[in-house]
Amino acid sequence: MPPGRQQAVLAALLLDLNRVVSTDHLVDMLWAHDPPETARTQVQICISRLRRLLRPVRAVIETRPPGYLLRAEPEKVDLHLFRARTREAVSLRKKGRLEEAAALLREADALWRGPALSGIEAGALRTRATRIGADRVDALEQRVGIELELGRHARLVAEIPALLEENPLREGLCAHLMLALYRSGRKAEALQVYRSSRDRLVEELGLEPGAELRALEVAILNQDPDLHPDSRDDPGPLPAPGSLPSPDQHILFQLPSDTSDFVGRGDTEAAVADVLVRAGESAGIAVLLGPPGVGKSAAAVHVAHRLAEEYFPDGQLYCDLRGTSEAALTPSQVLGRFLRALGVPGQAIPDDLDERAVMYRGLLAARRVLIVLDDAASERQVSPLIPGGDGCRVLITSRARLTGVPGARRFELGPLDEKHALALLHRVVGARRVENEPESARTLVGMVGRLPLALRIVAARLAAKPHWTLSMIVARLSDERHRLDELEHGDMTVRASLSLTYDGLDGATARLFGQLGLVEAPTIPVWGAGALLDDRRAFPADLVEPLVDTHMLDTIGVDGAGEPIYRFHHLVREYAREKGGQDPSAARERVRRWVGGWLYLLEEANRRVFGTNLLRVRGRGARWSPPQAYVERLLADPHQWIERERTSILTAIRQAADSGLDEECWELVSQFCVYAERRGFFDDFEEALRSAVAMVRTAANVRGIAAMDFSTCSLRLNRGENDAADEALARSLTGFAEVEDRFGVGLCRAWMAESAYMRQEMDEAWSLCETALADFEAVGEPEAMWRPLTLLGRIRADQRRFDDGQVYLERALRRAEATGDPRARSQVLYQRARADLSCGRYLSARNRFHEALALITRPGDPMGEALIRFGLGRVHLALGEVGPAREFLGRSLELWERLDDHEGVVQVRGVLDRLSSCDGSMVTTTR
């Protein structure tokens, strides 16, 4: 495998074997935050080459939106094989099959051939490599621990020092070495290992050794008999599994029943179990976080059942804290319940909260108990319930983030992946029904956003009605406005689950939640909250973060200003829409501000790209401006902002049309189409027009109709539909004249002049140019004159009146420069270069072509680039430079083919076909 990007892409696909890796992730991995324009194309090239290289080993890379999936058997990939053997070894150890477990872990380590992902420099992959390397050391520690249990300390004394040298801060390895030395009769050396490790930790981290290592030092000093090699007790912070509590202790089994058809969450389950079983220096507190209905409680109970018997033989305490209800339990109430469960008579339970907490901690100090606190509201509610003993662990679920719980490890739960969502359907509905309708099954899990609660509801409804097909329930869920009505069965309801969190929001946050539900967009920029509330505070994220904290809204990235970008889960959005639609009249004005924000930002971005050369009529659409300091950060790179927000802008256009906001709708389209035309996004161009044309015609908005006819003309011209373009332009002229918009009339006349020129009607073209210039002069828009002036210069050059033509073109260039638009200057320079080429001034033509090309390099203008490169090819032919000519012509051909421009392709191919016989005089092509 050659090093570089190809190797990095393969590594990324292998790390997520049999799972989709998005193209955006691959681009970010390869180029961090500064990808080139061709980034996605380069990724496609890497994928194509990898497919050829992987064919002999029967590994297939499938294209799966939004990226690619490498399909292969996990046992063919060393990392996955390593993980499988490690998991199997853990299982064997639990069953007491220590010899087999140790052998399997040695086999797993033998798979390594050096550091993980060695030679790959991608930052994102290096982070993954660090985690994988840590997994290897964890496995080594497990294997050494097992071999110590097997009495192999003499052999390990020689092996562990090398491992410790490579991982000097791993206290587990240090403890294993100390124990191996002690059991080999080398007590002094064991204590020296401790002192050296302590010095290193203090010097490098400013930390003392953990409790386990300190306890081991004391045990060695005291020659504790438990350190004898015949003892099989784990030297970790937890006592050995299986030891029984004293007879006077109450054994507690308060856990609810486990979910028999629980699926997924394997990685999270293992990580949570690791925190609870191998706490080490951590507090042994795990918090499961996530939105309503994601399955936090089910996951917590499932993990607790899995660990209960082996690791917590003294029992399990459980309490539903009702944090999302109005009747949330107080810490005092919970402690009272726990104390009674621990055998304290009611009359002996103190009234004071602190006294109850002290009694609770004292009773648990010498026990190994797992405490499960379900649906916690806040840190204040759970803090008194955290025991103080080393043997107890705490598992909490919450919709709040609980960042104030000291030492807690937090785990975010999201929706199930498709594989496990379908597995849940299999288990509840029955495999045959699901396998008979595989497409309906996939559609169904997608419709409910793979949310476990929603999946259980639809599965339960199907199980209750064996005569229903999956397609029937898909049809019932297809109406988004009533989807939540369908997600009810018995006591299970998605709406009720969401309402528990909603009812706990403060008034302002609840109102914002409903207003965000009005937004039809794939993502929500942070300024959108300010627009909906008409709040221009400097940091609008302050408005939204309470919804993020309660998992009613997700953050998915940051915008160009470094502020968060948000997204709803499908079903949460439907609930928010219900709340936001309760006042239709106010809703319309909020949507107007939302759309007005997009209009303001797009217009401002266009101004920064095109200067005063926008050449589009302005209407009366409402604009909403975010704080100026934020706008400056957001639009620091206006090209990138428009590119990134293209989908959201199109969605805003559709919502403006659906909401009857005709002025905002046509203005958004007019602004968007300028950029779409230059970048060659003609499908987006047409989609935007479709939304607006119907809207302005329904509203009888004459200026809007004229503006959309003008944009339609631009689209038809770019697609080579000249007759349809002329018809649209004629309608546009009539409309602008009807509303006495002379600037619009001037724009139409300037474009009509170009159409007349293409038909070889030179007198008509000349007359239209002059009247357009008069229109622009009359309305005080001199920068708009560059286009008709350019055409006048072109006409004179065609008439071989080169000096007169250069006068017009020089005037046009000054006007173009005044606009601040590089592309306008490029177009004038292109025409001057053509004139130079026609009169034999080849060196001047070459220089001007190159200057024109440099002006459109960023963000890119594929049509302009194709024309200029064709011109450069002709210049080099005229100079007898065949090699450069072929290069420029070849690139021009590629661009015309990508644009699907038949005329351009034919023209360039004609020149290339005759290139071998070219004598340097082939310069008369006119395009």
Q: What is the pLDDT of residues 847-899, one digit of tens each?
A: 999 999 998 876 678 888 999 999 999 999 888 888 898 999 999 999 888 88
Above 70 in pLDDT, residue 186?
Answer: yes
Q: In whole angstroms, give the CA distance from residue 178 to residue 182.
A: 6
Helix (H, G, I), strand (E, B) or coil at 592: helix
Residue 86 CA: distances (Å) to CA of 73, 99, 134, 141, 155: 18, 14, 13, 12, 22
Give domain 266-330+363-412's CATH number out of 3.40.50.12280, 3.40.50.300, 2.30.30.90, 1.20.1510.10.
3.40.50.300
Whether 910 and 884 have beta carbons less than 8 Å apart is answered as no
Local confidence band at 614 (pLDDT 50, 70, 90 cut-offs) = low
Main-chain phi, psi angles of 158, to 5 degrees: -85, -25
Above 60 in pLDDT, residue 260?
Answer: yes
Above 50 in pLDDT, residue 234?
Answer: no
Q: What angle do CA 401, 406, 409 make, to 5 degrees?
A: 55
- Would you state the pLDDT for residue 845? 92
- Would you state the pLDDT for residue 365? 80
Residue appearing with tokens 């109709």: 705
Helix (H, G, I), strand (E, B) or coil at 914: coil
Above 50 in pLDDT, residue 238?
Answer: no
Average the pLDDT over 86-98 and give the result: 86
Q: What are 535-538's contacts with CB under 8 Å, separation 24+?
A: 536/625, 536/626, 536/627, 537/627, 538/627, 538/629, 538/630
Main-chain phi, psi angles of 489, to 5 degrees: -160, 115
Residue 519, phi-psi category: left (phi > 0), alpha (psi -120 to 50), beta (remainder): beta
- Residue spans of the domains in the chain: they are 5-72, 151-229, 266-330+363-412, 418-496, 785-922
Residue appearing with tokens 């420069």: 817
785-922 has the same fold as 151-229 = yes
- Would you state the pLDDT for residue 832? 92
Q: In whole angstroms, give the CA distance from residue 816 to residue 885.
A: 29
- Would you state the pLDDT for residue 237? 35
Q: In whole angstroms, give the CA distance from residue 471 to residue 481.
A: 19
Average the pLDDT over 152-168 and give the result: 83
Main-chain phi, psi angles of 703, to 5 degrees: -65, -40
As a CATH number, domain 785-922 is: 1.25.40.10
Above 90 in pLDDT, residue 453?
Answer: no
Q: Which of 509, 655, 488, 653 has its CA nearest to residue 579?
A: 509
Tell me the two tokens of residue 346: 């009611």
Helix (H, G, I), strand (E, B) or coil at 172: helix
The DSSP output letter for 448 is: T
Above 90 in pLDDT, residue 771?
Answer: yes
Q: CB neighbours of 910 closer than 8 A, spacing ≥ 6?
A: 925
Q: In whole angstroms, give the CA distance from residue 28 to residue 40.
A: 10
Helix (H, G, I), strand (E, B) or coil at 150: coil
DSSP-assigned letters across all residues of 437-457: -HHHHHHHHHHTTT-HHHHHH
Question: In 10 A of CB 324, how many CB atoms?
Answer: 22
Q: Which span out of 500-509, 544-553, 788-797 was modeled with the highest average pLDDT? A: 788-797
Above 60 in pLDDT, residue 33?
Answer: yes
- Would you state the pLDDT for residue 1? 46
- Would you state the pLDDT for residue 239? 34
- Would you state the pLDDT for residue 240? 35
Above 60 in pLDDT, residue 313?
Answer: yes
Whether 264 and 423 have beta carbons less than 8 Å apart is answered as yes
Above 70 in pLDDT, residue 151?
Answer: yes
Above 90 in pLDDT, residue 736?
Answer: yes
Above 70 in pLDDT, residue 230?
Answer: no
Residue bearing the bigger pLDDT, 927 or 830:
830
- The architecture that CATH gives domain 5-72 is Orthogonal Bundle (1.10)
Q: In whole angstroms, give the CA distance from residue 820 to residue 133.
A: 54
| Span of 472-481, 590-599, 738-747, 810-819 with lowest mean pLDDT | 472-481
Above 70 in pLDDT, residue 337?
Answer: yes
Whether 785 and 776 have beta carbons less than 8 Å apart is answered as yes
- Would you state the pLDDT for residue 572? 80
Local confidence band at 770 (pLDDT 50, 70, 90 cut-offs) = very high
Average the pLDDT over 183-194 and give the result: 86
SS3 letters across 27-66:
HHHHHCCCCCCCHHHHHHHHHHHHHHHHHHHCCEEEEECC
Local confidence band at 916 (pLDDT 50, 70, 90 cut-offs) = low
| Span of 403-412, 657-666, 732-741 with lowest mean pLDDT | 403-412
Whether 310 and 94 have beta carbons less than 8 Å apart is answered as yes
Whether 569 and 449 have beta carbons less than 8 Å apart is answered as yes
Main-chain phi, psi angles of 208, to 5 degrees: -85, 160
Q: In whole angstroms, give the CA distance from residue 707 to residue 786.
A: 21
Whether 657 and 672 have beta carbons less than 8 Å apart is answered as no
The DSSP output letter for 491 is: T
Helix (H, G, I), strand (E, B) or coil at 864: helix
The CATH homologous superfamily for domain 151-229 is: Tetratricopeptide repeat domain (1.25.40.10)
Residue 219 CA: distances (Å) to CA of 188, 224, 273: 13, 5, 27
Q: In whole angstroms, give the CA distance from residue 9 to residue 117.
A: 12
Helix (H, G, I), strand (E, B) or coil at 735: helix
The percentage of residues in the chain with a pLDDT greater than 90, rounded to a whole number, is 20
Helix (H, G, I), strand (E, B) or coil at 321: coil
Q: In whole angstroms, give the CA distance from residue 656 to residue 661.
A: 5
Above 80 in pLDDT, residue 813?
Answer: yes
Q: Which span out of 225-229, 326-330, 685-689 was modeled with the highest average pLDDT? A: 685-689
Whether 212 and 238 have beta carbons less than 8 Å apart is answered as no
Which helix (H) or strand (E) segment holds residue 289: the answer is strand 285-289
Task: Give yes or no for a cis peptide into 859 (omega within 30° of 0).
Answer: yes
